[in-house]
A and B are shown apart, each in its own frame.
Chain A
Amino acid sequence: MSGEADGREHAATDVLPFGIGRLSKRTVVAALLLLCGLAFGLIAYAQQLLHGDIVSGLRTIGGGGATWGLYIVLDVTFVGFSFAAMLVVVIERLFHVRALQPVTRLAEWIALLSLVMGGMCVLADLGRPLQGLLNLPRYARITSPFFGTFALVIGGYLFATLVQLFLSGRADAAWCLERKPPLPLLHRVWAAGFRGSAGERWRHARVSGWIAVAILPLLVIAHSTLGFIFGIQAGRPGWFSALAAPGFLLLAGVSGVGLLLLVAAGARRWLGLHEALGEATFRWLSNLLLVLTAAFLYLLAVEELTAWYAASTQDFELARERIAGAFALPFWTMVGCFVVAVGALLVEWTRRRVSMPLIVAVALLVNVGAFCKRWLIVVPSQTHGMLLPYGHGSYVPTWVEWGVTLGVLCVGALLLLVVAKLFPLVPVDRTPAPATRPPDALEGGRGVARVVIALSTFAAGSLLLVAGFLWSARYGSDHYVDPPVPFSPVIFIAGVVMTFYAAAVFETIPFTRSVTRATKE
């Protein structure tokens, strides 16, 4: 399986590493299988579009069902993946953790693709997806936690991730461009004139630090709004909890770091990244997973203790359903998965070694546990969390929902496969940035223009961001149905986009010489 050798061997030759640009039989078969899954997902979604949500297992709350189900569980899962992936990137940038450096590119891709998949799940859940695509940009209101999910996560945070990925991948794109990549135009656009000068590297080191600082609060706020969707519903026992937002953050960390470990292990095995993704990386990630999982178990204990010691009647009933009732299976599966995972990771930690099969098993376990926990968050409060005496309900997803799920997963995997065949999944250009500011850092006379344009972009972005936010909050409109300025949420997202784009402006504009010219010289 390790036929495609490590990048360093190829660095001297003009061949791209990790099977980039080469289609092996295995790749083609995998792509075909994923396309079949995608086709099945499309057929399932077509059923939903044709006949309405009646083909799903969802039903009216109080009428015997749950109004949110698998799609919402998956949306939370995918956004959680992106949260954890970006968290790893931020930790690497802020604390200069060298062990995490090889896995940052993969993490950035996971963050991006997960957000796309999360957005697809939200669309799949909407009864009128086209109206959603039109009305959310027009009318999204900040008093709805859904605003956070739509505007902050899917809009703003997606773009911030994109800027981070674009800037950190420029050096590698330029590196690939010198080695005749399959689609050179893509690499040329991505490289955006990167020449590999000390000044460029110094600027990138500075900028990526700023992005990490800026993206961290955005990350926490955006993911908290997902927790608030449930946590601020006073009328739904089991949801109304101040622990919802921090719980979501921790669980996202657990499942996301688990996924990163899984994908990294897969890439290491199938793309021949044994040297590039070394043991140190996996040890660091598994220790991070240990801390996060243990912290999540603590939150879980606090939550259950409160429910059993002094909760209201309905909360207590829900707790009983969880432990010995309709939801005992997912509950105990979750507890079992997390406890075994923590135990296994502790043993690995004390033995100071890394066993890949064990890490893969643990990563799978925590994700099964996280899925169960999210199910326990979303479903029971709807089917059993009624304050008025409606009968208990039940929810079992239908083949349509599983089909759409399969389709979304296949889209993600397919995109990752395409990415792996076009770009290196681990950073290949590892020339360190100069520690002190080199003389060409701001490139002479262009330096002033660079700083001025970047700062203006940042200022304009911040202005749009604040204005868009206030207008989306219906500030200046006496009636909260319509914002005073049409498409205010778009203005807000444009503000987030421009603010982060200032980083790209600082690194790339004004353009200097193209890569090819630089190479010739």
Chain B
Amino acid sequence: MTSSRRGVLRTLGTALLGALLPSRRANAQTAASKRTLTADGHTPRWGMAIDLDLCTACGGCVVACASENNLPLPDDSTDAAGTGVSWMELVAPRSGEQGVVAELAPMPCMHCDNPPCTKVCPVGATYQNEEGLVVQIWDRCIGCRYCTAACPYSRRYYNWSKPEFPDDLRNLLNPDVATRPEGVVEKCTFCVHRLRKTKENVRREGRLLTDDDVVRLPACAQSCPASAIVFGDLADPTSRVAHAAASPRASRLLEHLGTQPKVYYLSKDRRRSS
């Protein structure tokens, strides 16, 4: 019983200290507990590799992303032209010029290591988390659209009107992802909600996070029939995504801007930009 009393005292003392010390200490501690998920305790740097030699441009990733992340259905009326939201989009990079060659390439958010969008956000509604993901606090966004103007990849979308979901689709909304209100900017999160869930499961099972846990984690990667999309920890040299990023076929979009995107494109016809 004495030990339990000591335990209570220790808990109380820790709580008191925790309340007195700056929040930075508390953040550092939570971060440390997250880090224990990797073998050597390093912080993961999540990234993606898209093999354009495998990609058939079927658009499966686009649909899977929209359904996973509760994107509103596209409105075909002329009034709504240019207001659609598509976190993952098939875009046609010009061959040779941008270091990537393909007729159509899937484009998610690049989750840059030096993101222009987070720098310009006036209220800190978008920021880069410890694991390198560029995330967004929907509720804090004031709708100034500075991030959309700053993103050289045009990967940010503004909700020009209230997102509409037909009644028969309403029950199919993903409960893990909040729907966004009118007037906020949104973008691909690398399915951060799935990542969180996976980490919780792994922690509960008392083991370390493996490459197999995450390699097809985002909805786009999971749905790709050609397995062209690989997700994982770029800081772990043994991961598949790190292997892909180190491939001589790999390049990134607009590397000369210094944004250091974490999405790598693999293509045999790769031309080096700049």
Give the B-binding residues of A (Cβ under 8 A).
Answer: 51-54, 58-65, 67-68, 125-129, 131-132, 135-136, 138-141, 143-147, 150, 229, 233-236, 382, 386-390, 393, 476-482, 484
> Closest Cβ of chain A: how far from B203's Cβ, in Å?
22
Residues 92 to 144 of chain B near chain A (Cβ within 8 Å):
92-94, 98, 116, 119-125, 127, 137, 140-144
Q: Which of B134-160 contact A (CB under 8 A)?
A: 137, 140-146, 148-154, 157-160
A52 touches B140 (CB 8 A): no
The answer on a CB contact under 8 Å between B119 and A65 is: no
Given contacts A63-B83, A233-B149, A386-B154, contact A53 B123 (CB under 8 A): no
A residues less than 8 Å from B145 (CB atoms):
67-68, 125, 127
Does the CB pair B144–A382 fall under 8 Å? no
* Interface contact A54-B184, CB-CB below 8 Å: no
Contact B143 A144 (CB under 8 A): no
Cβ-neighbour of B152 out of A60, A64, A144, A234 (below 8 A)? A234
Report the minimal beta-carbon distance from B253 to chain A, rounded to whole angstroms: 7
Chain A residue nearest to B160 (CB atoms) is A54
In chain B, positions 37-83 with a C-beta closer than 8 Å to chain A are 79-83
- Taking the complex as formed, is B225 at the interface, i.e. its CB lies under 8 A from any CB of chain A? no
Query: B189 in the interface, Cβ–Cβ < 8 Å?
Result: no
Looking across the interface, which residue of chain B has its beta carbon closest to that of A235? B152
Most chain-B Cβ atoms within 10 A of its Cβ — which of A51, A229, A386, A478?
A478
Q: Shortest beta-carbon distance, B180 to chain A, in Å?
A: 11
In the complex formed, the residue of B with least CB distance to A68 is B149
By a beta-carbon cutoff of 8 Å, the part of chain B in contact with chain A is 22-24, 27-28, 79-84, 91-94, 98, 116, 119-125, 127, 137, 140-146, 148-154, 157-162, 181-184, 253-254, 257-259
Give chain A nearest CB distance to B56 CB in angstroms: 20
- Let me know if A136 and B142 touch, CB within 8 A: yes
Which of B81, B83, B254 has the largest count of A CB atoms less than 10 A from its CB?
B83
| Cα distance A132–B181 in the bound complex, in angstroms | 15
Decide: A388 near B98, CB < 8 A? Known: A144-B121, A235-B257. Answer: yes
| Contact indicator B183/A146 (Cβ below 8 Å) | no
Task: Tell me, in angstroms, the Cα distance from A478 to B31 when the chains sit together.
Answer: 12
* Bound complex: CA A60 to CA B98 (Å): 22
Q: Contacts A135-B123, A139-B123, A481-B127 known; A128 to B141 CB distance under 8 Å?
A: yes
Given A60-B83, A127-B142, A393-B82, decide whether A481 and B152 contact each other with a Cβ distance below 8 A: no
Contact A60-B84, Cβ < 8 Å, known A67-B149, A234-B116, A235-B152: yes
B122 touches A146 (CB 8 A): yes
Q: Which residues on the A side are within 8 Å of B162 (C-beta)?
A: 52
| Contact status B148-A61, CB under 8 Å | yes
Q: Are A147 and B148 in contact (CB under 8 A)?
A: no
- The number of residue pairs between A and B whose CB atoms lie closer than 8 Å in the complex comes to 169
Residues of B within 8 A of A480 (CB): 124, 127
Q: Is the CB of A388 within 8 A of B154?
A: yes
Q: Which residues of A contact B98 (CB under 8 A)?
A: 387-388
| Chain A residues with CB below 8 A from B125, complex form | 135, 139
Q: Which of A61, A67, A145, A478 contacts B24 (CB 8 A)?
A: A478
Flag if A138 contacts B123 (CB, 8 Å).
Answer: yes
Closest partner residue, chain A, to B148 (CB atom):
A67
**A388-B152 in contact (CB<8A):** yes
A60 to B145 alpha-carbon distance, docked (Å): 10
Q: Which residues of B contact A482 (CB under 8 A)?
A: 124
Residues of B within 8 A of A127 (CB): 141-145, 158-159, 182-184
A395 (CB) vs chain B CBs: closest residue: B82
Output the least CB separation between B6 and chain A (Å).
32
Which residue of A is nearest B149, CB measured? A67
Do A61 and B154 touch (CB < 8 A)?
Answer: yes
Residue contact B149 to A144, C-beta cutoff 8 Å: no
Q: Are A229 and B146 in contact (CB under 8 A)?
A: yes
A144-B146, A476-B22, A479-B24 known; 13 new pairs, CB 8 Å cut-off, are A52-B160, A53-B161, A60-B157, A61-B148, A63-B154, A67-B145, A68-B145, A127-B143, A132-B143, A146-B146, A388-B91, A388-B152, A480-B127
Chain B residue numbers with a CB within 8 Å of A141 are 121-124
Shortest distance from the beta carbon of B121 to any chain A beta carbon, whole Å: 6
User: Across the interface, which residues of B come within 8 angstroms of A51, CB to CB?
Assistant: 161
Given the complex of chains A and B, what is the CA–CA distance between A213 and B56 in angstroms? Answer: 65
**27 A-B pairs (CB sep. < 8 Å):** A53-B158, A53-B160, A53-B183, A54-B79, A54-B160, A54-B161, A61-B154, A62-B154, A63-B82, A67-B148, A67-B149, A67-B158, A125-B145, A127-B183, A128-B142, A128-B143, A128-B181, A128-B183, A128-B184, A132-B143, A135-B142, A140-B122, A141-B121, A144-B120, A144-B121, A387-B98, A478-B27
Contacts of A235 in B (CB 8 A): 116, 150-153, 254, 257, 259
**How long is the Cα–Cα vector from A45 to B144 in the complex, in angstroms?**
16
CB of A153, distance to nearest CB on chain B (Å): 13
How far is it, in angstroms, between the C-alpha of A143 and the C-alpha of B184 when the chains are bound? Answer: 20
Shortest C-beta distance, A150 to chain B (Å), equals 7
- Distance in angstroms from A378 CB to nearest chain B CB is 9
Query: When the two chains form their complex, are residues B161 and A389 in contact, meaning their CB atoms are under 8 A apart?
Result: no
The residues of B that contact A388 with a CB separation of less than 8 Å are 91, 93, 98, 152-154, 253-254
4 nearest A-B pairs in the assembled complex, by CB-CB distance: A127-B143, A235-B152, A127-B183, A59-B82
A396 to chain B, nearest CB (A): 12
Q: Are A236 and B123 in contact (CB under 8 A)?
A: no
Question: With contacts A52-B183, A127-B144, A235-B116 known, is A64 near B123, CB below 8 A?
Answer: no
A64 to B92, CA, bound (A): 15
In Å, the complex CA distance between A136 and B142 comes to 8
Contact of A136 among B122, B158, B183 (CB under 8 A): B122
A245 to chain B, nearest CB (A): 16
Assembled-state Cα–Cα distance A55/B88 (Å):
26
Task: Check B123–A140 contact: CB distance below 8 A.
Answer: yes
B160 touches A64 (CB 8 A): no
Cβ–Cβ contact A479 & B27, under 8 A: yes
Is the CB–CB distance between B28 and A478 below 8 Å? Answer: yes
- Check B144 against A125 for contact (C-beta < 8 Å): yes
Q: B121 — nearest CB in chain A belongs to which residue?
A: A144
B154: chain A residues at CB < 8 Å are: 60-63, 386, 388, 390
A481 to B157, CA, bound (A): 21
Q: How far is the CB of B95 from chain A (nearest CB, A)?
A: 10
- When chains A and B are docked, how far (Å) is the Cα of A145 from the Cα of B254? 23
CB distance from B157 to the nearest CB of A (A): 6
Asked if B254 contacts A387 (CB within 8 A), the reply is yes
- Are B94 and A135 in contact, CB atoms less than 8 angstroms apart? no
Q: Which residues of A contact B150 (CB under 8 A)?
A: 233, 235-236
